[in-house]
Amino acid sequence: MKILVAYVSGFGATAEVAKEIADILGRQHTVDLRTLSAVRSLEPYDAVVIGSSLRAGRWLGAMNRFLKRFAEDLASRPVAIFTVALTARTMEGSRRVLAENLPRLLERYPNLEPIATEAFGGVVDYDKYNVLVRGIMHKVAKEEGLPTSGVQDFRDWEAIRHWATELAEKLAAGTTPA
């Protein structure tokens, strides 16, 4: 099976997660890893895995543009969606992201029925942010009781690998949208 893993990443954490997912899927399948904006066609792919970071509870613009552009193509093949967000650093936060943010995205694309979805913790790296983003992240971190400087990496690599492994097996078994 040929799989596209496509992503949009604000500061690099989602790109690293997408690469790990692509590496795991690549053990059983042929995989292309691309940014969402670099994808020109879904024709060559049997399945698509899409990832985006969330910023202030919103999917990045490239995610919405990708889904709008390829809505019809995505409805005809297995699709999995993941996100990387600070809120998803705990199991409860991950469930909340999936319960609140994913439905708001999918309601605009009723023919899109993902076979797998997941939310992973993200990274806070104050040195990468401009003044505006740094201020917002500082406020959020303070409210959440998190450090307000330096780098905090909340990605659970074992959970990411587990999800990707299960997805690879599901795709190998021929799971298709309902």
pLDDT in tens, 150-169: 788 989 999 999 999 999 99
Backbone CA torsion sign across 10, 65, 39, 46? positive
**pLDDT category of residue 178 using cuts at 50, 70 and 90:** very low
| Domain residue ranges of the chain, discontinuous segments joined by + | 2-123+154-172
The answer on pLDDT for 176 being more than 70 is: no
In this structure, what token pair is assigned to residue 12?
A: 């690099």
End-to-end CA distance of the chain: 19
Residue with tokens 């609140």: 100
pTM: 0.89
| Fold exhibited by the domain 2-123+154-172 | Rossmann fold (3.40.50)
